[in-house]
A and B are shown apart, each in its own frame.
Chain A
Amino acid sequence: DIVMTQSPDSLAVSLGARATINCKSSQSVLYSSNNKNYFAWYQHKPGQPPKVLISWASTRESGVPDRFSGSGSGTDFTLTISGLQAEDVAVYYCQQYYSTPWTFGQGTKVEIK
């Protein structure tokens, strides 16, 4: 199974500041035949289902504010929240869907400083 490792485990950021979360996979999730990274970022708030923010490593889902951006390729990925808002307080997970089973990072809790 592909192991996903996120850092940090938690993060406290001032309102309006930048938050950066990293994720490393134990093997590449870049599919060479189509040059796509089979990688996503999810936001999970209490009492709600996880919501996909970014798919294919850098494609923002419909309706997701543009302060959320994803970057990286192969084994190293980053989620950036540019200008943290109060409603962004949540746990963020990275996920690979390159191979079965889907695997997730351990989660990064983002709070307001």
Chain B
Amino acid sequence: QVQLVESGGGVVQPGRSLRLSCAASGFTFRSYSMHWVRQAPGEGLEWVAVISYDGSNKYYADSVKGRFTISRDNSQNTLYLQMNSLRTEDTAVYYCAKDPTGPWGQGTQVTVSS
């Protein structure tokens, strides 16, 4: 079955960096676009970024543009999210999701706090 497992979350100070990973299995990873979506405490779902199946196209939410970078390694069936210049408002559970209708991983918590 399709499985997505995120890792790399944690507590980090404002201005620092963090890299999230999402290990995929159970489907042909290299054939699908992949997304990152987040949910801040008490808030709804916010789409963060998408990468095309071959990595040639990437799109970002305005709130993270210029700070976050989405990438993938199709040889390792892994999706990444490099998060730089983190802000307190980036605190959220981050989910990876398979296009177009999931499933989603279990999520990884990112907390940005001094």
Using a CB–CB distance below 8 Å, which chain A residues touch chain B?
A: 38, 40, 42, 44, 48-52, 55-56, 61, 93, 95, 97, 100-107
Q: Chain B, interface size: which category?
A: 10 to 19
> In the bound complex, do residue A104 and residue B50 qualify as a contact, i.e. CB atoms below 8 Å apart?
no
In the complex where A38-B100, A40-B101, A50-B95 touch, is A101 in contact with B107 (Cβ < 8 A)? no
Closest residue of B by beta carbon distance from A104: B45
> In the bound complex, do residue B44 and residue A102 qualify as a contact, i.e. CB atoms below 8 Å apart?
no
Q: Quick one: which of B70-114 are within 8 Å of A by CB?
A: 95, 99-107
> In the bound complex, do residue B59 and residue A100 qualify as a contact, i.e. CB atoms below 8 Å apart?
yes
A interface SS class: loop
Name the one of B100, B106, B107 contacting A97, with C-beta atoms under 8 angstroms.
B100
> In the bound complex, do residue B44 and residue A93 qualify as a contact, i.e. CB atoms below 8 Å apart?
yes
> Which residues of chain A come closer than 8 Å to B50, judged between CB atoms?
100-102
Q: Report the minimal beta-carbon distance from A108 to chain B, rounded to whole angstroms.
A: 11
> Which of B47, B95, B105 is most buried by chain A, counting CB atoms within 10 A of its CB?
B47
Docked CA distance A44–B39 (Å): 11
> Which residues of chain A come closer than 8 Å to B61, judged between CB atoms?
101
> Which residues of chain A come closer than 8 Å to B104, judged between CB atoms?
49-51
> In the bound complex, do residue A107 and residue B35 qualify as a contact, i.e. CB atoms below 8 Å apart?
no
Docked CA distance A100–B33 (Å): 12
Docked CA distance A95–B99 (Å): 13
Report if B37 contacts A (CB, 8 A).
yes
Q: Per-residue CB proximity of B13-52 to A under 8 Å, as 1/0?
A: 0000000000000000000000101000000111100100
